[in-house]
Amino acid sequence: MTDRSNDIDPAERVRQLQARRAAAGRTPRAAKAASAAATDSSRATAASTAATSRPKGKPRRRHPAAATRWLLGGLSIASFFGIAGTVAVANVSAIAPPAPAGAASSAVAAGVPAAATPVTAKATKATASTARVAHTTTRGS
Amino acid sequence: MRSQTWWYAARAGGIVAWALASLAVITGLQLSTRLVSKPAPNWVLDVHRFLGGLTVAFVGVHVAGLAADQFIGFGPVELLVPFASSYKPAAVALGVIGMYLLVAIELTSLAMRKMPRRTWHAVHLSSFVLFVVATVHGITAGTDRHNALFQWACLLTAALVLMMTLVRIWSPRRAARSAASATTDAP
């Protein structure tokens, strides 16, 4: 077999190809185009349906750590409330029960552990009042 | 609402945020060292990211609690400017710096795909600084620093992080990778 393609000049080759295409007819392409145009509308409808509803075959795959996320979130929130509750209970138990009127002034004078108290300007002013001292006592625990 | 509720929220929020940040650092080190082979890396990565987000949320609770508490009297300046607080300025400043570091790490992680990996990695490495700063802040400024449970938790967590960091620095995988990069960088 001999390859004649090299013998023919490019312009002639193009002409031959066009002729062959014409002989083969445009029917297949035309048919494809026509069928594509016909299915376009149905495809658009299908796409809109897919957007609104998930395909029924496979459910969406969950992330492997999805359960751990819930667990961590729950544990964090539980720890938060647990710690806050423990601190509150400890402070409530640390506050001395109401003393008799005579002993009240001495209890206030005995004061609060200063090291555990935030020494802000407001706090310094506040130590004057009994209520503030009671509040400060709770900060120390 | 009782006057001390915000104070309890601030304390609990701070402790939980520190614990979550520590767990995030430990999972990050697990990702880079593969010290334990069992959890799949994608699982660890997802948990690591989630822990980072949770840490930001609880730091928000901590800061909101401090801002809302009437007694301690922290305003925006004390909460956002280091050394502006009259109560233990250095200890509170560590908390403020830690908050900024956390925000930077979280934001760069969210924008990881849109920025150079080298930049992201440089910022992400500051999470070690964040861990140290947050731990020292908790030990020095926290009201619960005298609690034995908290002290033991700090000690054990710091030991674990230190051990994993040393493994990461001296791991053969990392040494091989750095050697390979040195070979490719060489002319």
DSSP B80-130: HSTT--SSSHHHHHHHHHHHHHHHHHHHHHHTGGGS-HHHHHHHHHTHHHH
As a whole number of Å, the CA-based R_g of chain A is 43
Name the pTM for this structure.
Answer: 0.65
d(CA A19, CA A6): 19
Pick from A64, A81, A87: which is nearest to B43 by CB? A64
The rounded Cα B128 to chain-centroid distance in angstroms is 7
- Return the pLDDT at B143: 82
pLDDT at position A64 over 60 = yes
Establish if B47 touches chain A: CB-CB under 8 angstroms. yes
Q: Where are the alpha helices (DSSP H) in chain B?
A: 5-33, 41-68, 76-80, 89-110, 117-125, 127-141, 148-170, 172-185
Q: How confident is the model at residue B180, as a pLDDT?
A: 53
- pLDDT per residue over B105-124, tens digit each? 999 999 988 889 999 999 99
Question: Tell me: the pLDDT tens digits for A107-131?
Answer: 444 443 334 444 444 444 344 343 3
The reported pLDDT for the residue numbered B124 is 93
* Interchain pair A69, B42: CB under 8 A: no
pLDDT at B20: 95
Residues of A in contact with B46 (CB under 8 A): 63-65, 68-69
What CA–CA distance (Å, rounded) separates B10 from A102?
36
Cβ of residue B10 closer than 8 Å to a chain A Cβ: no
pLDDT on residue B16 = 94
Distances (CA, A) of B43 to A61, B21, B54, B117: 14, 18, 16, 22
Q: CB A79 to CB B71 under 8 A?
A: no
- B149 at interface of A, judged by CB pairs closer than 8 A: no
Which of B8, B51, B58 is the closest to A88 by Cβ? B8
pLDDT of residue A95: 66
CB-CB: which of A65, A76, A126 is closest to B54?
Answer: A76
**Burial (0-12, 13-18, 19+ Cβ within 10 Å), B53:** middle
pLDDT at B48 over 90: yes
Mean pLDDT of chain A: 61
Chain B CB contacts of A69 below 8 Å = 46-47, 50
Alpha-carbon gap: A116 to the closest alpha carbon of chain B (Å): 7
Contact B102, B130 (CB under 8 A): yes
Task: Point out the least confidently predicted range of A46-50, A75-79, A108-112, B8-12.
Answer: A108-112
User: Residue B56: its chain A contacts at CB < 8 A?
Assistant: none
* Per-residue pLDDT, A103: 45
Instruction: Judge: A63–B46 Cβ closer than 8 Å, yes or no.
Output: yes
Span B53-99, pLDDT tens digits: 999 999 999 999 999 988 888 888 889 999 988 888 999 999 999 99
Chain B hits for A65, Cβ within 8 Å: 42-43, 46-47, 50
The pLDDT, as a whole number, for residue A134 is 37
User: pLDDT, tens digit, for every residue of B128-175?
Assistant: 999 999 999 999 987 888 888 888 999 999 999 999 999 888 876 655
Shortest distance between the Cα of A105 and any Cα of chain B, in A, equals: 22
Count chain A–chain B contacts defined by CB atoms under 8 A: 88
pLDDT of residue B178: 54
pLDDT score, position B28 = 93
The pLDDT of residue A7: 64
Residue B7: phi, psi to the nearest 5? -65, -45
Q: Give the C-alpha separation, B32 to B49, whole Å.
A: 14
- Which of A63, A70, A72, A76 is the best substitution to test chain B (most B C-beta atoms within 10 A)? A76
Has the ipTM of the complex gone over 0.85?
A: no
Tokens 């760069």 appear where? Answer: B108
The answer on pLDDT for B186 being more than 50 is no
Alpha helices, H only, chain A: 10-24, 27-52, 66-94, 101-110, 121-126, 130-139
pLDDT tens column, A76-98: 899 899 988 888 888 777 765 55
Q: Looking at the complex, does the CB of residue B54 fall below 8 Å from at least one CB of chain A?
A: yes
CA dihedral A76, B42, B35, B134 (to 10 degrees): -40
